[in-house]
Amino acid sequence: MSSEATTAATTATAAPTTSPAAAPEPPPHGLGVSLKATDIAAKTEGTFPYAADLWAEGLLWAAILRSPHPHARITSIDTSEALKMPGVHAVVTHEDVPGDAAHGRRVADRPVFASDVVRHHGEPIAAVAADHPDTARMAAAAVIVEYEVLDPVTDPEQAFAAEPLHPDGNLIRHIPLRYGDPDAVGEILVEGLYRIGRQDPAPIGAEAGLAVPRPDGGVELYVASTDPHTDRDLAAACYGLTPDQVKVVVTGVPGATADREDPGFQLPLGLLALKTGCPVKLTATREESFLGHAHRHPTLLRYRHHADADGRLVKVEAQILLDGGAYADASSESLAAAVAFACGPYVVPHAFIEGWAVRTNNPPSGHVRGEGAMQVCAAYEAQMDKLAAKLDLDPAELRLRNVMATGDILPTGQTVTCPAPVAELLRSVRDYPLPPLPKDTPEEEWLLPGGLEGAGEPGAIRRGVGYALGMVHMLGAEGTDEVSTATVKVEGGVATVICAAVDTGQGFPTLARQIVQETLGVDEVHVASVDTDQPPSGPACHSRHTWVSGGAVERAAKMVRTQLLQPLAAKFGMSAELLQVADGKITSYDGVLSTTVMEAMDGKELWATAQCRPHPTEPLDETGQGDAFVGLAFAAIRAVVDVDVELGAVRVVELAVAQDVGRVLNPAQLAARIEAGVTQGVGTALTENLRTPRGLVRHPDLTGYALPTSLDTPDIRIVKLVEERDVVAPFGAKAASAVPVVTSPAAVAAAVRAATGRPVNRLPIRPQAAVASPNS
């Protein structure tokens, strides 16, 4: 504290106690402020009710028997020994599924229980309900399954020629993107082969849920769903019921990056509840969680970049192969994003991209934040570094010569109509001061790669600086009908929002409160819990709920505002548009009218229901062309790393982030989302790799799977948030959390390349790839 500040503070302390107290500031509310979430205290104190905390009278416990093989033919299933065990109430297999035997959010190709063929390690075979969790697990282990073990197809390149693993074949989708002149060439040519590993979403809480049978023959599912209406419809089809006989109630969701989008955990629950007539609970072990939910697509990428002598891109050629695992899940959508964004946020006159997604006997791949876009970002940014090195240009300068802007055209033929301040983002992180070198710090205080007790020597440490630019699309793509419905009610000065938008950590309830506060001037706003009795709002992904559900809440609130203001405007002979609502007061532009919202309500209940549906998109055609995306978001990240070039250990010192956010709706919440996304990207870059030799998941636990901890998290500097509002988005806001996940792994890899002189063509970065080149 400066001396002036100290003097002022002392003077303030010595002021007479008889001075009149200043009026307390009203609590901040509305858009643009850091409004706290209502559940923040419960989550920090450990009292928040997650799905694993559920209970019901007469509860039974469920356990699932899973395949120990990645590929096998089932010759027999014997449940008799399990049924004989005391305390066992039911055992269900594929024979007990009364409705559709297969399910899938996008393609119904995944069986509830394997019947004739097992296609991946951990696939469900049977489920048991018993009066104690240990009894249920022992009974599941007592189910005798005879297998004829088959050779698994685990190399996605071999899937093209292998025997079909599924009746739908091994090819999930092929996209041959053609844009420009195939004969175009550049003076400079660089090539690369890149591999991205399998990342697990690793939720804080493993999957859990409760199924309760209803007197009408239906069932209620209390689960951590991210898309309750789709889950309801899948469950109803599986159980042979109508959708109105199944109710999904969303319980506490501890994050969602694919793990909450697999109905495979909840479908057996309902079957057991319907068969036993009792509530049934399932709490997955960490091993079951790893085996059961979807992971990020492992990807093989081959690239060839053409540029002229000044470093301007001429043509990009690429082959992208996604390993979809045993079932289709989100592979088609992930491939579309990978192919469309294969050139990155750069102007490329000619692009020829071949993309494939295939089935293998590896664990299923699905929706994980930034799917498709993250994998290609790591590859195209490595190519840009190669070009810069070959042309002897600064990596940031090379990128600035090629960056995209509003009005440019994607290789899909779609014009970028949204704000695209890519150059501004890159300049912001480039010009941000670099962190100091540790040379002036006592050696015993150095934070060496490998930790304080690491075996490295300070003399082997080299610092590297790298850049990456990333992009993601917002909302669903390729013709997805994006729609959400919301109801806003106001009574007695208290507003209630009813919207089936699930909060997966993105803070939608807080945003909904802010929207209503901003629009109606009502401070107390409650957001109802989510279930399928409400109209659908779609899945919680691609920042949908900020845009679509937030837009629906805003429209409903504006309709209520009109109901509130029109009688007053008519009474004073003016237009309702001339009245302002703020801080609980209604005033006219000329000051003639001034009243409170409570007085204007006069005991009335006002409510309105509205929908938000963004402009439509279209599927990519047979040459990869089409207006497939509603909007785009961009980020630039500069990474600074220290590398022990003898041991190959890497420490990320700092990540400087500049992001295109459209509009800041909640500063604290936005910063938290960016920091979380960057941290997830650091895990992708350095540690997270779910190994599956010959299709078997190795070390399905949080000891063998290395998540980044607080000690691995670098300094994250949010150096610039560009608020150039997207005019077609409600409030003008853009996606916040996916684009740093996409960009940070590529930035870390670029910095390691700069430190070591090695190509770094695989994520996560292995120690042998971080050992310095002899000529560097």
pLDDT tens by residue, 36-62:
888 888 878 888 888 888 899 999 999
Given a cut of 50, whether residue 2 has pLDDT beyond it is: no
Same domain, 664 and 587: no
- Would you say residue 125 lies in a domain? yes
Residues 6+ apart with CB under 8 A from 367: 257, 258, 261, 294, 329, 330, 333, 334, 541
Given a cut of 80, whether residue 427 has pLDDT beyond it is: yes
Same domain, 332 and 394: yes
Same domain, 349 and 493: no
- Would you say residue 659 lies in a domain? yes
Given a cut of 70, whether residue 720 has pLDDT beyond it is: yes
Q: Alpha helix (H) ranges present in 572-666?
A: 597-601
Q: Please, what is the Cα angle at 498 between 668 and 205, to 5 degrees? A: 55
Given a cut of 90, whether residue 163 has pLDDT beyond it is: yes
- Percent of the chain at pLDDT exceeding 70: 93
Given a cut of 70, whether residue 259 has pLDDT beyond it is: no
Residues 6+ apart with CB under 8 A from 202: 259, 688, 702, 705, 707
Same domain, 335 and 462: yes
How many CA atoms does the CB half-sphere of 144 hold within 13 Å? Answer: 5
Conformational region of residue 261, where left means phi above 0, alpha means psi within -120 to 50, and beta covers everything else: alpha
Q: pLDDT tens digit string along 63-91? A: 999 999 999 999 999 999 999 999 999 99
- Would you say residue 240 lies in a domain? yes
Same domain, 122 and 220: yes
**What is the SS3 assignment for 126?**
strand
Q: Which of 573, 596, 612 is the last residue of a domain?
A: 612
Given a cut of 70, whether residue 15 has pLDDT beyond it is: no
Of 244-258, 391-405, 439-453, 505-519, the range with the lowest mean pLDDT is 439-453
- Structural domains counted in the chain: 3
Q: Which residue has the tokens 């909302």?
A: 475
Given a cut of 80, whether residue 21 has pLDDT beyond it is: no
Same domain, 590 and 632: no
Token code pair at residue 62: 């469920």
Q: Would you say how long the chain is, in residues?
A: 776
Token code pair at residue 577: 């548009």
Given a cut of 90, whether residue 659 has pLDDT beyond it is: yes
Q: Residue 487: phi, psi to the nearest 5?
A: -120, 135
pLDDT at 776: 52
- Would you say residue 38 lies in a domain? no
Same domain, 599 and 632: no
Q: pLDDT tens digit string along 672-715? A: 999 999 999 999 999 999 999 999 999 899 888 988 888 888 99
Same domain, 68 and 136: yes
- Would you say residue 650 lies in a domain? yes
Q: Which of 558, 593, 612 is the last residue of a domain?
A: 612
CATH number of the domain at 635, please: 3.30.365.10
Domain span at residue 541 reads: 484-612
Considering only residues 326 and 41, tell me which one the structure prediction assigns the higher pLDDT. Answer: 326
Q: Which of 559, 577, 612 is the last residue of a domain?
A: 612
Q: What DSSP string runs through 191-248?
A: EEEEEE-------SS--EEEEEE-TTS-EEEEE--SSHHHHHHHHHHHHT--GGGEEE
Note the pTM of the prediction, 2 decimals.
0.92
- Percent of the chain at pLDDT exceeding 90: 66
- Would you say residue 705 lies in a domain? yes
Same domain, 389 and 467: yes
Same domain, 441 and 491: no
**What is the SS3 assignment for 302?**
strand
Q: Which segments within 577-693 are labelled E, that is strand?
A: 579-582, 585-588, 594-596, 605-612, 631-644, 649-660
Rounded to whole angstroms, how far apart are CA atoms 399 and 505?
A: 33
Rounded to whole angstroms, how far apart are CA atoms 240 and 274?
A: 11
- Would you say residue 318 lies in a domain? yes
* Mean of all residue pLDDT scores within the chain: 89
- Would you say residue 185 lies in a domain? no
Same domain, 287 and 345: no
Same domain, 733 and 597: no
**pLDDT-based confidence at residue 455 (cuts at 50, 70, 90):** low
